[in-house]
A and B are shown apart, each in its own frame.
Chain A
Amino acid sequence: MSFFMFTSLKRILKFGWHSFARNKGLGLQVIFIMGIAVFFILLFFLGRGVGQSLFNEMARKVDISIYFKSEASEQEILQIKNRISLLSDNIKSIEYISKERALAIFSAEHQDDELYLRALEEVKENVLLPSLNIYSDDPSYYVKISDSLKEPPSNDIVAKISYEQPKNKQAIETLAAITDGLRIAGIAMVTLLGLLVIVITSNIIRLTFVVLKDEINTMKLVGASDWFVRGPFVAQTFFYGLFAVIAVDVFSGVTLYFFNAQAIHWFSNFNVFDYFAANFFIIFGFQLGFVVLLGMASTLITLRKHLKA
């Protein structure tokens, strides 16, 4: 960049800063409007984090149990166990529970319940089935496991798969749908707010232009280039956006810090402040890019039709 261009750029930023600093009333209004958009972007990110955390929490509580027919041999069951464990690294544990162990667990769980114990005595034989308890940190694998067991030779010895129970499957699918829905709603809201930022910034620039029309004409009369006239407005919008983002993030950060204990309790141990801190640069960058770029683009578009020699 040539010295002249660098000097001009420096001056444009300085003029923009002066305009920003000398119009405090207007500035506060613009920063407030942009701040609303910035705040909702922050809510979008935090909402995503909370949603993901709740989803993971729920997924952790869900596992899948495969019950085998009484006549299935231990060797056959262990073969299936090996096959499943190779499906993915997301499968964290597979526990084989034999008929005998199942009976022991059942008896221990119901040792004070005479009704169950008498029922077992009357039946005389062990009617409990051998099973595999599988836990994955990605519930989507349960579908794969379930599907793979419906095919021969596995389907010959499988009696029942707990994942297919409507309650479990529905819970996971509902939670996934809610998370997806929240994400879509968040994107829609951010898009709407983006339009709001454009419309409001355009109107403010247009009003400012009406007020400063004579001044802009004078700048042109002394030979200022279109960029030298236009640049400070764009720089001014940049400063509005930057201050809006800083104000919202500082306020939000302080609020989250002091109310974090409460938030953890509300969101099932999800540490909102830690999430905010860990993702701060991504959030800040997105907020700044979104608001500043939109604001600057709307400024340029609004000024363009007014700047004719």
Chain B
Amino acid sequence: MIKFEKVSKIYNSKNEPIVAVEDVSFVISEGEFVCVVGKSGAGKTTLIKLLTGYERPTDGQVFFHERDIHGIASTGLQKIRRKIGVVHQDYRLLQTKTVFENLAYVMQVIGISDTDIKRDAAQVLDIVGLESRACSFPCELSGGEKQRLAIARALIHRPELIVADEPTGNLDPYHTFEIVHLFKKISQMGATIILATHNKEIVDNLKERVITLERGRIISDEREGRFIL
């Protein structure tokens, strides 16, 4: 489903170039649950940005269902993005829309009816514990609530790929467990999950495939891996 082929990303800066990701290659099949681990600055977020088309690789190619996502027209990239649910490290919520409207927007982009949107949004808000905050704006939410909203938005349209960048960083242990359990359930239903985290407990408890990054390079790629840093 996903293939990174000798992908590198170098940022030009005033002092010297910053190598965020270097010569990374891996393949992720449909239905896999993959944890991408590494310390801060290892390249986890850059990897996710390359996968969602937010950044272009300096070298190499990124494939989604055998299509080079950086070699297609913008309309093709838009269609790919509709199949992906992304939880960003910085939430990336729509500040001018309410909690409900943030969820609804993703569904409206793919043309779901208002009736289905209302039903699904209510369901997902209940799952993440935000049902009482449906009319609030993101600026009125706590860090944990924002993160739960970001997670809800990534899940609501039942995407075939969910990419989560530190989705539990601002959550208490109860909600952390709930979210990881939810991801596990979704994975069992057939979705592909990529979870970028530096939380050792989550990785060790999941016992899923673990790709470990250090200074932009893959140093380990193990099925039923553990947090080795």
Contact = CB atoms under 8 A, between A and B. Distances in A.
Contacts of B84: 223
A219 B110 CA distance: 12
Contacts, number: 61
Given A222-B81, A222-B106, A309-B78, A8 B111 contact: yes
Interface string B85-104: 01000001111110001000
Contacts of B54: 217, 221
A281 interface: no
Contacts of A214: 92
Contacts of A228: 109
Contact of B96 (A22, A217, A308): A22
Interface string B65-91: 000000000110111111110100000
Given A19-B96, A215-B95, A218-B93, A225 B75 contact: yes
Contacts of B86: 221-222
Contacts of A4: 111
B86 to A, nearest CB: 7
B53 A222 contact: no
SS of A interface (majority)? helix
B63 interface: no
Interface centre among B84, B101, B105 (most CB of A within 10 A): B105
A138 B153 CA distance: 72
A7 interface: yes
A4 B79 CA distance: 15
B78 A223 contact: yes
Interface residues of B, number: 29
B188 interface: no
Nearest to B72: A309
Given A4-B111, A215-B94, A226 B106 contact: no
Contacts of A19: 96
A21 B165 CA distance: 34
A220 to B, nearest CB: 8
Contact of B105 (A212, A219, A308): A219
A117 interface: no
A208 to B, nearest CB: 10
A309 B53 contact: yes
B94 A223 contact: no
A120 interface: no
B52 interface: yes
Contact of B78 (A215, A217, A225): A225
B108 interface: yes
Contacts of A309: 53, 74, 77-78
B97 to A, nearest CB: 8
A223 B82 contact: yes
A144 interface: no
A221 B90 CA distance: 13
B82 A222 contact: yes
A221 B52 contact: yes
Contacts of B109: 219, 222-225, 228
Contacts of B93: 218
Nearest to B75: A225
Contacts of A8: 108, 111
Most A C-beta atoms less than 10 A away, residue of B54, B82, B94, B106: B94
A103 B94 CA distance: 93
A215 B101 CA distance: 13
B211 to A, nearest CB: 23
Contacts of B111: 4, 7-8
Contacts of A223: 78-84, 106, 109-110
Contacts of B75: 225
B108 A11 contact: yes
A226 B78 CA distance: 9
Contacts of B77: 309
7 contacts: A7-B111, A215-B95, A217-B92, A220-B78, A222-B86, A222-B109, A222-B153
Minimum-distance CB pairs A-B, first 8:
A223-B82, A309-B74, A223-B81, A218-B92, A224-B109, A4-B111, A223-B78, A222-B106
